[in-house]
Structure 1
Amino acid sequence: MKKYHFQRQQLKSLVEKISSKQVTGTLIIRLQTKEELNQKKYILVLNNGKIAYGGSYIPKRNDFVKTLAHKVNPEINSSAIQVALEKSTNPTSLTEVFKKLVRFRVLSWDKIETFVRGQVLSLLEYASYYCGELEWNTSSSCDLCFGQDGHYIDWRSLEEELNQRQQQWEAFKPSIPSKVAIPCLVTKAATEIKEPQVLRHLEKWVDGQRSLIEIAQELEKNPLTLASSYFNWVQKGWISFDRTKVIEYRNRPTILSVDDSPIVQATIKRFLGYRYNLLLASNAIDALNLLNQNQVSLLLLDLTMPDLDGLEVCKTLRRMTKFHDLPIIMITARDGLVNKIKGQIAGTNHYLTKPFNSEELLGVVNKFVDGGNT
């Protein structure tokens, strides 16, 4: 096994040099990222200098076939994959199984090659921004190839496409300065974005630490496709590549939900977790401890709990100066006037009856936490 060390932007030329020798084997790429060396590891499989596959690793044959087949066609029937595996006569051959799946018309060679090609392009784009170590292993390989003629991906065509992709990246400037630019969530975004799925993505991945291409790599998405979405979000003012506009997540309002039902807590977490810092407690004692340890902006309080009911908790809090103005939303399965009156007497600000939907809960929370600005 031969090892090479490379600096930033040198990987592509090094791969080109090795592939020009028309060798067969596996290139093991270890990147020096923010973590320790060898923390990020990828492979490129070559056959006579042409590329057969690229990814994080080559799993065992059955796992490889199932994973790749589902990525190429998410709606593929698992039984078709199983039949193809069982009818295969060579226990190590990937190509034989994929030929059967193509014959079953659940996959096509074009889609298989397009997927692998995109994965290789993303890998090369990502890895080019790091220095690291490349190890050449002739004893490790796989027989994956494409089409009825059994061809591989030519390095020259890959290089041409990488150049074309670079031109596409240029079109995103100046909104997206580069592939390694770090996106930040703009402070006002949390109150302007109405699509929960978009906000969940941004609050999970756009943390002011990861570059766009790092996010794409972790999501296993084409970085150009992701860049297109991010470009649109920049235009809408939701994200920025200017770090001065990054939202401080620790400054998001904190909500404490007190309920002994895991199902109710899971529902509240799904409805509110992407927008607020959410604390969960299943009893009054834990709730009081969390209230004393955190700056809570709103309390969601179940009426019926095993140790101390919500009305008693509310009365206790209202007797404490610290929590006199804390918004308290009483949540209960009971929808009676008497309970509502009791809640008002105890000091609740609002009464929400289970089951409730996300719009109802967000509307109430927005009224008391965000001042009705969303």
Structure 2
Amino acid sequence: MLKSLQYQAGQLSDLLEDLQSTGASGSVWINAIVNSEQKPRLRVVFLNNGKIVYGGSKRVNNQELARRIGIKLSHDWANVAVGYAAQKLQNPSSFRELLEQIVRIRVFKWEEIETCIHTEFVQVLEQTLPYPGKLELDPTVEIDLSYGKDAHGLEWKKLIQDVAHRQHQWTALARVIPSMEAIPQLLPGWRTVKTSIAQQDLYKWVDGRRSLIDIAEQLDEDPLNLAQSYRSWVASNWITFGQHTPVVQTVSHVEEQRPVILSVDDSPVVQILIKRALGERYQVLFSDNALQALSLMNTNPIALLLLDVTMPDIDGLEFCRTVRSIAKFKNLPIIMVTARDKFSDKLRGQIAGTTHYLTKPFEPHHLLEVVGKFVGERRETLKTVSYKYNFR
């Protein structure tokens, strides 16, 4: 029986976690609404007794998957091995049995197989988590896929961490390539390209309509790897990229019984990680720009500020100095959460007025520990001040 559910931006991660916790099996079709003017981005996820075991842009059978792994691993005779192993299957449609046969004849290792599927699934999450959409669960379509001798699934925590790591890499490219949704356009200089292969690729794919991710999907390439290649083409004045429309983060109502944390970061994936780490203990508000952040700070009892250095409208350090110049925020704990980990970066953070410096990617339990320390200290200080005031 097909089950369908609409969800808002930022909710997909929780839904996938819920499916894992309930031991669900079957196919999960994700229809992500990236742009209201475009068709939904369709991706499929397979669960096996609550374990995530596969994710991609389409459903595949066992031999297609095995051959795809062979291509990714550059095994020249993978096709022969797949054909040989398929002839020995008791269950012709079994994923697990086919891969066990191929591992047994030492063409693939379980670690290699899992790494390939993990890498592709990270891209599925990266391309769908930030957006609203519709989720459809079909428990009638299952695959018996699992990994290793103990038949485990993909590790959710590691998947999310890798998505966050890739987000840092996209951020480093942002000045040249705004995002994977950005559309490359040819510049007159492309005609000076001397290599015929590069010129053919430019002419064939860069048509002013396809986004970077559209091109990557047609080429069956990782969009991030493609972006790294295109960066050199931008530097050569062969192409340029248009801006993308950022995802708007919604802010929930404040629950007075829990301390309020404000996270200022323009990465939806990082915001999801922060929500997961802090959501049970704190009321977490989100903003992706300085102006909205100041508005939230002036209308909510913020107990602690999480602040990224790199933001689209103002440098995080400059925003920190602005916050510190406002009297009521003089003692507000400000934790800088950033991928910049040099001593000079930390020093600049201290000079700007940060209370603590946390480097991305971070462990959720460590973030919770750090936030708890400073929120606890602040609450004790406020209680002491209140006690002294009432005593007098």
TM-score (norm 2): 0.56
TM-superposed deviation, 1:32: 4.3
Which string of whole-angstrom CA distances, capped at 9 and with x for unpartnered residues, describes residues 228-260 of structure 1? Answer: 1112222222221148xxxxxxxxxxxxxxxxx
Equivalent residue number for residue 50 of structure 2: 49
**Alignment of structure 1 residues 97-116 onto 2, 5 Å:** 97-116=98-117
Equivalent residue number for residue 241 of structure 2: 241
TM-superposed deviation, 1:117: 1.2
Read off the aligned partner of 2:227 and give its amino acid letter: A
C-alpha separation in 1, matches of 2:242 and 2:67 = 41
Contact 1:30 1:37 in 2 (8 A): no
Equivalent residue number for residue 65 of structure 1: 66
Aligned-residue identity in percent: 36
C-alpha separation in 1, matches of 2:58 and 2:42 = 8
Which string of whole-angstrom CA distances, capped at 9 and with x for unpartnered residues, describes residues 62-93 of structure 1? Answer: 44433443444351243322211111222231
Q: Secondary structure at the match of 1:15?
A: helix
Equivalent residue number for residue 134 of structure 2: 133
Q: Secondary structure at the match of 1:203?
A: helix
Q: Relative to structure 1, is the Cα distance of residues 230 and 9 closer, same or farther in structure 2, using a 3 angstrom cutoff?
A: farther
Paired residue total: 242
C-alpha separation in 1, matches of 2:64 and 2:182 = 35
Which string of whole-angstrom CA distances, capped at 9 and with x for unpartnered residues, describes residues 307-346 of structure 1? Answer: xxxxxxxxxxxxxxxxxxxxxxxxxxxxxxxxxxxxxxxx
C-alpha separation in 1, matches of 2:76 and 2:214 = 28
Q: Secondary structure at the match of 2:188?
A: coil
Structure 1 or 2, whichever has the larger Rg, is 1
Q: Secondary structure at the match of 1:83?
A: helix
C-alpha separation in 2, matches of 1:2 and 1:92 = 25
C-alpha separation in 2, matches of 1:24 and 1:106 = 29
Read off the aligned partner of 1:76 and give its amino acid letter: W
Which string of whole-angstrom CA distances, capped at 9 and with x for unpartnered residues, describes residues 85-117 of structure 1? Answer: 111222231111111212222222222112111
Which string of whole-angstrom CA distances, capped at 9 and with x for unpartnered residues, describes residues 100-150 of structure 1? Answer: 212222222222112111211112222345543211122211111122222
Read off the aligned partner of 1:202 and give its amino acid letter: L
Contact 1:126 1:217 in 2 (8 A): no
Q: Relative to structure 1, is the Cα distance of residues 233 and 32 closer, same or farther in structure 2, using a 3 angstrom cutoff?
A: same
Q: Secondary structure at the match of 2:43?
A: strand
Contact 1:118 1:222 in 2 (8 A): no
C-alpha separation in 2, matches of 1:197 and 1:29 = 35
TM-superposed deviation, 1:45: 0.6
C-alpha separation in 2, matches of 1:203 and 1:9 = 37
TM-score (norm 1): 0.59
Equivalent residue number for residue 254 of structure 2: none
C-alpha separation in 2, matches of 1:162 and 1:11 = 14
Read off the aligned partner of 2:29 and give its amino acid letter: I
Deviates more, 1:63-72 or 1:52-61: 63-72
**Alignment of structure 1 residues 1-374 onto 2, 5 Å:** 1-32=2-33, 40-128=41-129, 130-191=131-192, 193-242=193-242
Read off the aligned partner of 1:204 and give its amino acid letter: K
Q: Secondary structure at the match of 1:135?
A: strand
C-alpha separation in 1, matches of 2:71 and 2:17 = 31
Q: Secondary structure at the match of 2:200?
A: helix
Contact 2:4 2:135 in 1 (8 A): yes
C-alpha separation in 2, matches of 1:62 and 1:73 = 16
Contact 1:37 1:132 in 2 (8 A): no
| RMSD over aligned Cα atoms | 2.5
Contact 2:27 2:139 in 1 (8 A): yes
- Consecutive unaligned residues in structure 2, runs of 5 or more: 244-392
Which string of whole-angstrom CA distances, capped at 9 and with x for unpartnered residues, describes residues 196-255 of structure 1? Answer: 222222222222222222222232211111111112222222221148xxxxxxxxxxxx
Read off the aligned partner of 1:2 and give its amino acid letter: K
- Consecutive unaligned residues in structure 1, runs of 5 or more: 244-374
C-alpha separation in 2, matches of 1:233 and 1:47 = 43
Which string of whole-angstrom CA distances, capped at 9 and with x for unpartnered residues, describes residues 337-368 of structure 1? Answer: xxxxxxxxxxxxxxxxxxxxxxxxxxxxxxxx
C-alpha separation in 2, matches of 1:208 and 1:36 = 16
TM-superposed deviation, 1:23: 2.1
C-alpha separation in 2, matches of 1:36 and 1:27 = 24
Which string of whole-angstrom CA distances, capped at 9 and with x for unpartnered residues, describes residues 156-195 of structure 1? Answer: 211111111111111112111222122112111122x112
C-alpha separation in 2, matches of 1:241 and 1:38 = 21
Q: Relative to structure 1, is the Cα distance of residues 35 and 102 closer, same or farther in structure 2, using a 3 angstrom cutoff?
A: farther
